[in-house]
Each structure stands twice: as structure tokens, then as C-alpha cells.
Amino acid sequence: MAASHFGEKVYIWAAFYQKSQAIDMKTTSQSAHQTYIKQHQDRFLGELFDLLRIPSVSADPKFAPDVRRAAEYIRQRLLEAGADSATIHETNGHPIVYGERIQDPALPTVLVYGHYDVQPADPYELWDSPPFEPVVRQTKEHPEGAIFARGACDDKGQAYMHVKAFETMMQSGTLPCNVKFMIEGEEEVGSDNLEIFVQNNKDLLAADVILISDTGIISNTTPSITVGLRGMSYVEVEVVGPNRDLHSGRYGGAVANPINVLCNMIARLHDEKGRITIPGFYDKVTNLSLDDRKAMHEVPHNDDEFAADLGVDGLQGEEGYTTIERVGIRPTLDVNGIWGGYIGEGAKTVLPSKAYAKISMRLVPDQNSDEVTDMFAKHFLSLAPKGVKVAVRPHHGGEPAVIPTDSLEYRAASAAFEECWGKAPVPTRDGGSIPIVSLFQRELGLDSVLLGFGLDSDNIHSPNEKYGVFNYLKGIETIASFYQHYAGMKK
Amino acid sequence: MAASHFGEKVYIWAAFYQKSQAIDMKTTSQSAHQTYIKQHQDRFLGELFDLLRIPSVSADPKFAPDVRRAAEYIRQRLLEAGADSATIHETNGHPIVYGERIQDPALPTVLVYGHYDVQPADPYELWDSPPFEPVVRQTKEHPEGAIFARGACDDKGQAYMHVKAFETMMQSGTLPCNVKFMIEGEEEVGSDNLEIFVQNNKDLLAADVILISDTGIISNTTPSITVGLRGMSYVEVEVVGPNRDLHSGRYGGAVANPINVLCNMIARLHDEKGRITIPGFYDKVTNLSLDDRKAMHEVPHNDDEFAADLGVDGLQGEEGYTTIERVGIRPTLDVNGIWGGYIGEGAKTVLPSKAYAKISMRLVPDQNSDEVTDMFAKHFLSLAPKGVKVAVRPHHGGEPAVIPTDSLEYRAASAAFEECWGKAPVPTRDGGSIPIVSLFQRELGLDSVLLGFGLDSDNIHSPNEKYGVFNYLKGIETIASFYQHYAGMKK
């Protein structure tokens, strides 16, 4: 699912950019954490590898037993790390792991959210090593090695940092507050059951802040924190023509071909200026001031380099907006999958009965995913010609979100970066979506701190997903540091 | 492949229609044939079932051993039926079975063409019984039972009628001429190697007429003979965007999405009037006179019934032409398959690197398939926007063909129908393509007689392909009758 997303080359909402001096302040706790992490780093990696070997693909029912195995694995490690309790909560889908360590009800409480499910690894043949057999290889961005595996970054590697940061603080005697863990197994398929769980367990989940590592940083020399996220509307569409597959020679030209029709309908979802044609689609889109838009471009970005990295000879998008704006502050519509007719080897002259597509829209403040899904469905149905029946099935949605940088939580996260990375993080806006952020704001009244450590080049949702060994270990240290600063500021 | 096609509801070139009185003329040979067929009909069916059990899908390499088994099966049955010799000819692809019975070089020679390969049976789940386990069930069109299996009609059932008609004449002492059999295994993938075989074996294949059963009749009460065929151009297109699958949240809106692009390019292949936009596409299309077009509509056809049979609420096609014209005398373009991105269960927000489609065009006299393929490629490439690379790969082509009804061969076929069905056949034009008909005209200088017995409702190329038991047995009788009339007229 879209739910993961990092700071990236096209990410930065520089209006928030705050220059900050590197601070050389090694605290006692930081020193203890560093020592502990160094001593146990091989085990920390080995445990993550064991988790990565479990193919917990939530989207595909055939992996359901593996998804459960991953949940059980997390539960056991939480108990070993020092949780008072850790339990598996059943849902109508995959289970949720909940664990907690309550030191003193008077202390502030951090609620950690993460997910142990992963994206499908298809197409397997594009992986350089099997997606569920983690290996460490050096890369340009990760000279100290990167862990290659589906979920290495999104989100097993990042979620597991929290378990190990918790252990580190428990063993170092530095856990300064209470901590609750909620690690779900359906983030990649829309978190529908998490929403129900949150609604039904507000007391259990009572906390002061939510901490999530499912985003990224600009680079290992330019740390950043995501403060803006796009929302999402995701639908599957079906175009049905004749009641059976037909011979294209005998019927072609006289009967609407569902593939041709679907292509035509999809083509009509954008106009010639790259704008989405759904009536009302842009009505609620927050338009930034020219100054704010200008400020977005103070960060380094180069269209030619961006295109060269992707191997394309040109970029494409909504007229009147730059690449940074197209990905950061503008809503978009992409077909994520399409299929119909004969797709095997060779030639078959079928005029198929049906054609399908998966289509997602990224939303920006103040669009609403349910409203957009309704608008899409109405518009898409209106594009259907005679001779076909069209169905639109909503998959799941998520709302756009913005996190204030002047909050105590943001400042604590910023201080943790300063302590562990030697420089203040850049606040960024991200093109991706984490629907649960707006869910938590709505249901629990809590802001989320997006303390993610992935890189844009980590290939999440793609073949050869990876996560830097440096990022994994430094992330554990930074999370432990966050707790110290957060508890200190809350006093 | 398109290569099979029948007379059908939208087929009739009534300019050729000749009213004919039913003739009651039971000849001695017909009587002998009927008796022999009746005595051996269970074995005739059983042998066909054995052939249908071999999944000889030529398009899919994994079935290659089965394709060869089917060839060997045909070879053995030809020898048993009375062939002087029958051999397997290797090609660069699947083999060709050749067999012959030369009674007297002074007699005329009939060259029988057929194919033992079949279309892929996908999607298997839409079959009511397994595609390679033939069963007989009653249907509305086939009250005496129909054989359900892939290839039952196209073309194993129809090709095998010739082997059994040959046996019938051999055993009845009625074979009035020489006969040669050329049964290939690549008709459904374009007959590329057949073309080479024909070019290299002109002496071996020397004959007076070619007899093919790979078409159909209007109904079991209205026999017909196909006299016009559409040609074909078939291509596979590939649209490549970024060099890897991307996260749609992080890149969507800034990078051309190959699926959206492919849809847009496909949409632009037709204009709003349903005309194909490829420059020059219609230049060589033979335009029929208004009288000829009017004559086409003297046969029964009803758009509402046609649509109701297909379960659609309207028909679609080139403006200014009727359904009969759209399928019979106008060239068309259909997408036969499309795929790209994530097509598994659930939601995945990938912006894929690649998207593909299979596209076929049906051609009419005097279009040329190579020229049309070139025009398509040039036009399609010109539709590609910046940010993608496009490839067009030709699969195979075939030329349109028209067979004269005043020929001796046509008259012999017509007489065979009169004798066996009690009425003269209607000459029809068919929307499908049999590329080998024009190949034979070009390379061997021979006209083909399309003596096919399938029905429009036989679902060739679709799930639940079938062939009437009546059609199979009556077809054997009609073929044997053709030989008598043909030899008699040639004297």
C-alpha cells in the first residue's frame, strides 16, 4: 500500500526549513545506548533477518499463515525485550500485536505504531536475491551495507528498531516513560481492522504521543522529518462487455471491446494539461501562496538528474507546477495495474468479455478520501459508452495530514536527530500517504511523530527493497534519544 | 489465432446468393458412404476424442511435447485410413504432417489442409468441463449432442473429418481421385513455418484444388460456404517508463505512468466516429457499391437480437456502416490483451515500469498485412509522449481473400451440400481470417474451397468450445460427396 513513503528528492516543504547548528552534546544516556547497541548489533540484525524471512504479504490470502507467524514473532520479541505483557488481538483480517511497559501511570506514555505486513514481492524475477532471504550487500548509498529483502525498510526494519530501542533503554536503565506498542498486519491493505481496533480500545491506547517509523530521511548526511502526507483513494474498476469471450474476427468492429473501452475511459481521466477531469476533484485542494510555493524550491532538486536517475527522457505532470509541487502539494491519479484478455505467450484473437484496472488517487489537504472516491465513481460511470457495464469497487482510503513543527513532539524528535546525527532535521512534505496518521488524530486526538529513517533509494514496494545497516542501528539510537528528550520536555 | 471463423449472423454477402431447389438425388456412392459412416460412427467419435485429449496448444512452449503427440496421432490414423505414406516434417517450430494416396497420376488431386494445434484454453475456470477431457452434451443448437473440448471444432474436429471421409471412400471403393493431406501444428500462431514448407515443397504439394474445413455454416438448416475472408495484422506493444517500478505516492504525478500512457495511446487509435486513425489505413480498402452494400442486407439479421445474444445494451462500431458491414467488409482494430502493474489481489500502489498490449487488425481487400503493420508501428510510435520508450513487435499477418463462386470447385462443393443437406449452400463473407488461403493462392496458384461445418455458437477460441455430433458426421459425408462431384466435373 501507499502507506509507506519517505522524504525524497521531491519532498521538501522548505517553508518549514530551520537552519540549525550541529550540537556536540553526548549525554550519559546516549553513551550508554551507543555502547549497548554496538555490543548487540549482530543479534539486532539477526533478529530482523528472522522476521524478514517470514513472507507476511497481507494482500494475498495464501500468505495468511505467514502473516500470523510474523505477529507471533513480534509478540515474543516484545516480551523478551521487557514488555509487561504482549498479546495478539484477533480482527476480521490479520491480527494486531499489542504490548506495553507501564513504569508509572504518572509518567507520559509513548504509543508506538508500526506494521509487520509487507507488500507483495512480485515480480520476483526482478529481484537480485530472493525477497524473503535477507542478505547484506554494499551499495552507493549504503557503504556500510544494506539489508536486501521485502519489508527490510517498509516496515519490518523500521518497526523492529522500536523493539530494539525499547530493549536498549530497558537494559541501560534509561526508559523515562511508559511505552505501548501497536504493530498491525494490514497496513499494506488499508488498515481497515486497525480502525475498528482503535475505536474499540481507546482506553487501552491512551497515550501522549504516537511514534511511527514508516517514512524516510533525505539522505544519511541530511536527516529530515516528514511533516506532511498525501491522502489516498484507491479503487478497482471492471468493464464488462459481451457475456462471453468472443472471436475478434467475427465480432470485432461491431461490439464494444472492454479493453478498448477501458483504455478510452482511463485516457479521459486526465485532460491535455495533465489535470484530472473528475468534476469537483480540485474544489477542496488547498492552494499554497506563491511565497510558500517559492519556498518549496529552496532545497536542492534538479529535473534532469531526477529524470536521469529514472532512465526517462522527460518528465510529465500537471501543467503549471514543478516536479516538487506535483509530488508534494498536488493531487494525482495513477493506474497501478491493468489486465484483460489474453496475456499469455503468443497471439490469441479474443475479444474479451471483461477488463480491469486498479486506480489510485493521492490527495492533498483538504480533500477527503470518501468524497473523492464518490466523485471518481460517478465520473467514471458517466464515461461508460453503450455496450458495456462498469463497476467501481473502493479498496480503501486515507486522509491527507499535516503535522505542526512547533509542537513539543516535533521539537523532541528534532533534538534527538541533533544529538545522534550532529545536525537538525529538515521538515519535509511527502507525496505518500499514511492513512493511520489521520485516523489517530481523529480517534485518539493524538499527533504522530514520523521518525522514519528510510532512503528514497530503498525501493520500497519495488524489487530489491533494502534498508541501510547504518540506518537501522542509528535509528535505534535516535529513537532511544527521542524518549529522553520527550520525557525531559514533558516534565 | 484468428485463423478460424465461420459463417455467422453477420456474414452474408448476399450478392452471391443463389436460390436453389432442394434436390432429392441419392447416388450410389452417397448411400454407401452413409451406411459406412453409420456403422463406424462410434469409432469415428472415439478417435476424435483421443485427439482432443492431447492439449496441443501451439502458442505455449510448455505444450510442445503434446503438439508433437498430436502430429504423430494424425500420422498413424492417416496410414490406417489407407494413405500410401504419411510422414512428420520437422520445421523450426511445430511439425507438419504430410500424407498421400496417389491412385493414378492422371486423375485430379485434392490437397487437404487442416491444423491439429489449438488455441490456449485460458481461462480454464470458465469451462463447464475440462477443456481437454471431451464430453458430449445436448445443446439448443445441437439436440443430437455436441462434443465439448478445446479444438472440438477448431480445427481438430473439422480436420479429422477429412481423415474419416478418406477412410470412408477407401473402404467403400469410391475414392475418385488422388488426395494429399497437409495438417500443420502452427495455425493458431501464424503458420510461419507452413509458409516455408509450402515454398520448399511445391512439387510434393502439386494439386488441382485445396480443401479446407476451418469455417462454418449459418445453421444446421441453412448450409453455407465461406467465399470471403478478412486478413490480419497482429502486434504486441510495450511501453516502458521509468527503469524500475516506483512508489506511486512518491513519483505519481511527476513521471509518465506507462499504463496511463498505453491507455491514452490505445484510445487515440480510434476517432470519435469509430474510425481507425492510422494514416493511410483505409487507402486500399475496397469500397463496395451502394448496390452491393444493399444486397448484403437481404439476409436475415437483427441488431437487437444480436445484442441480446451477447448480453449488451448496445452495439458500437464505425459510423456510417451497419453491423453486417462492420464485420464483413470493413477493417477493424481490437485490443486482444493488456497487462501491466500489480494485478494480484488487493491494493498495491506501484507506478510500474512497463505496460503491454496485444493488438490485432482485421483487413479487407485490398489491404496488405505487412503494409498495415508498418503503418501501425509508425503511427503508434508517433503517439508516444516524452518519458516513455515504445516497442511494436509484429506477431504475424495474413491477407484478405475472396473465392470466386463460379469456379468448378465452388460448384462441386455446392453440389455436395445439395446432395447431403437437401439444399444449396449460401455463399457468405466472413469477418475472420485464414491467412493460408492467400498463401496457397500466391505460392501454389490454387484456389481453396472452404468446406467448413462449424456453427457461430460453437465458441471457438472461447471457453466451452464445442462441435455438433451431427456436424461431424454430416461433414464427413459431405466431404466424401465433394470428391465425387469434383472428380465428375473435372472429367
Of B234, B253, B315, the CB nearest to A255: B315
Instruction: Reply yes or no on domain A231-285+331-398 having CATH 3.30.70.360.
Output: yes
Of B1, B255, B352, the CB nearest to A347: B1
Q: Does A38 touch chain B (CB under 8 A)?
A: no
3-class DSSP state for residue A290?
Answer: helix
Q: Which residues contact B375 (CB under 8 A, 6 or more apart)?
A: B278, B279, B280, B281
pLDDT classification of A298: cutoffs 50, 70, 90? low
Report the run of H or E that residue B430 belongs to, with start and end: strand B426-430
- Please give the pLDDT value at position B5: 31
Which of the two residues, A231 and A384, has the higher pLDDT score?
A384
**Regarding beta strands A426-429 and A224-229, do their DSSP bridges make them parallel or antiparallel, or are they unpaired?**
parallel
- Please give the pLDDT value at position B292: 75
B50/chain A closest Cα distance in angstroms: 25
Domain definitions of chain A by residue range: 14-228+400-490, 231-285+331-398
- Please give the pLDDT value at position A2: 30
Query: How many angstroms separate the Cα of A192 from the Cα of each of A55, A188, A396?
Result: 21, 10, 8
Q: Does B346 touch chain A (CB under 8 A)?
A: yes
Q: CA-to-CA distance for A323 and A317, rounded, in angstroms?
A: 8
Q: Does A241 touch chain B (CB under 8 A)?
A: yes
Q: B58 contacts in A (CB within 8 Å)?
A: 346
Nearest by Cα to A468 from A280, A221, A284: A221
- Please give the pLDDT value at position A16: 29
CATH class of residue range B14-229+400-490:
alpha beta
Nearest by Cα to A191 from A131, A149, A232: A232
Q: Which residues contact A445 (CB under 8 A, 6 or more apart)?
A: none
Q: Which residue positions in chain B have pLDDT lower than 70? A: 1-26, 295, 298-299, 430-433
Point out the residues of A that are catalytic: 117, 187
pLDDT of A288 higher than 90 = no
A55-85 residue pLDDT tens? 999 999 999 999 999 999 999 999 999 999 9
Residue type, B89: H
Q: A242 contacts in B (CB within 8 Å)?
A: 310-312
- Please give the pLDDT value at position B431: 63
B343/chain A closest Cα distance in angstroms: 5
Note the CATH number of domain A14-228+400-490: 3.40.630.10
Burial of residue B456 (number of CB atoms within 10 Å: 0-12, 13-18, 19+): buried
- Please give the pLDDT value at position B1: 27
Chain mean position to CA A153: 10
Q: Which residues pair with B355 in a beta bridge?
A: B239, B340
Q: CA-to-CA distance for A56 and A51, rounded, in angstroms?
A: 9
- Please give the pLDDT value at position A63: 96
A348: cell is 490469441
Angle, alpha carbons B16-B17-B22 (nearest 5°): 135
- Please give the pLDDT value at position B333: 97
- Please give the pLDDT value at position A439: 87
Report the run of H or E that residue A36 belongs to, with start and end: helix A28-52
B305's torsion region: left (phi>0), alpha (psi -120 to 50) or beta?
A: alpha
In degrees and rounded to multiples of 5, residue A337 shows phi and psi of -165, 150
CB-CB under 8 Å, A250 with B10: yes
Contact in structure between A358 and B341 (CB atoms under 8 Å): yes
- Please give the pLDDT value at position B25: 46
Q: Does B339 touch chain A (CB under 8 A)?
A: yes
A465/chain B closest Cα distance in angstroms: 11
A332/chain B closest Cα distance in angstroms: 5
Residue type, B433: S
Report the run of H or E that residue A240 belongs to, with start and end: strand A231-240
Which string of DSSP letters, residue by residue, matches B117-144?
-B-----GGG-SS-TTS-EEE--SS-TT
CB-CB under 8 Å, A250 with B8: yes
Which residues numbered 357-396 in B keep a CB inside 8 Å of some CB on A? Answer: 357-358, 360, 362, 385-388, 395-396
Of B246, B317, B461, the CB nearest to A350: B461
Q: A311 contacts in B (CB within 8 Å)?
A: 242-243
B293: cell is 452494400
How many beta-carbon pairs under 8 angstroms link A with B?
Answer: 401
Cell 535516535 sits on residue: A478
Of A260, A385, A459, the CB nearest to B266: A260
Q: Which residues contact A272 (CB under 8 A, 6 or more apart)?
A: none
- Please give the pLDDT value at position A200: 96
Nearest CA in chain B to A434: B249
CB-CB under 8 Å, B388 with A10: no
Which residues numbered 116-155 in B keep a CB inside 8 Å of some CB on A? Answer: 119-120, 122, 126
Give the active site residue among B8, B66, B117, B188: B117
pLDDT of A475 higher than 80 = yes
The length of chain B is 491
3-class DSSP state for residue A170?
Answer: helix
Note the CATH number of domain B231-290+327-398: 3.30.70.360
A185-211 residue pLDDT tens? 999 988 989 999 999 999 999 999 999
CB-CB under 8 Å, A343 with B337: yes
A92-124 residue pLDDT tens? 999 999 999 999 999 999 999 999 999 999 989
CB-CB under 8 Å, B340 with A338: yes
The single-letter DSSP state of residue A216 is B
Q: CA-to-CA distance for B1 and B191, rounded, in angstroms?
A: 10
For residue B176, say if its preceding peptide bond is cis, omega within 30 degrees of 0. Answer: no
pLDDT of A4 higher than 60 = no
Q: Which residues pair with A341 in a beta bridge?
A: B337
- Please give the pLDDT value at position A64: 96
What is the percent of chain A with per-residue pLDDT over 90, rounded to a whole number? 73
- Please give the pLDDT value at position B401: 79
Nearest by Cα to B101 from B197, B16, B178: B178
Catalytic: B443?
no
B228's torsion region: left (phi>0), alpha (psi -120 to 50) or beta?
A: beta
B467: cell is 462441435
pLDDT of A300 higher than 80 = no
Q: Which residues contact B283 (CB under 8 A, 6 or more apart)?
A: none
- Please give the pLDDT value at position A432: 67
**Regarding beta strands A109-115 and A178-184, do their DSSP bridges make them parallel or antiparallel, or are they unpaired?**
parallel
Residue type, A75: R
Average pLDDT of chain A, as a whole number: 90
- Please give the pLDDT value at position A22: 32
- Please give the pLDDT value at position B296: 72
Contact in structure between B131 and B120 (CB atoms under 8 Å): no
Report the run of H or E that residue B163 belongs to, with start and end: helix B156-172
Q: Does B279 touch chain A (CB under 8 A)?
A: no
CB-CB under 8 Å, A234 with B346: no
Q: CA-to-CA distance for A132 and A152, rounded, in angstroms?
A: 10
| Least trusted range by pLDDT, from A122-136, A217-231, A300-314 | A217-231
- Please give the pLDDT value at position A25: 46
CB-CB under 8 Å, A255 with B316: yes
Which string of DSSP letters, residue by residue, matches A435-449?
HHHHHHHHHH---EE
A379: cell is 465520473
Of A346, A352, A360, the CB nearest to B248: A360
Beta strands in B142-271 (DSSP E): 146-148, 178-184, 209-212, 224-229, 231-240, 246-247
CB-CB under 8 Å, B248 with A5: no
Nearest by Cα to A148 from A115, A126, A163, A117: A126
B270/chain A closest Cα distance in angstroms: 9
Q: Does B304 touch chain A (CB under 8 A)?
A: no
The single-letter DSSP state of residue B285 is P
Q: Does A281 touch chain B (CB under 8 A)?
A: no
- Please give the pLDDT value at position A3: 30
Q: Does B429 touch chain A (CB under 8 A)?
A: no
Which residues numbered 247-266 in A keep a CB inside 8 Å of some CB on B? Answer: 247-257, 259-260, 262-264, 266
**Regarding beta strands A209-212 and A448-450, do their DSSP bridges make them parallel or antiparallel, or are they unpaired?**
parallel
Q: Quickly count: other Cβ atoms within 10 Å of residue B368's Cβ.
A: 17
Nearest CA in chain B to A396: B347
Q: Does A106 touch chain B (CB under 8 A)?
A: no
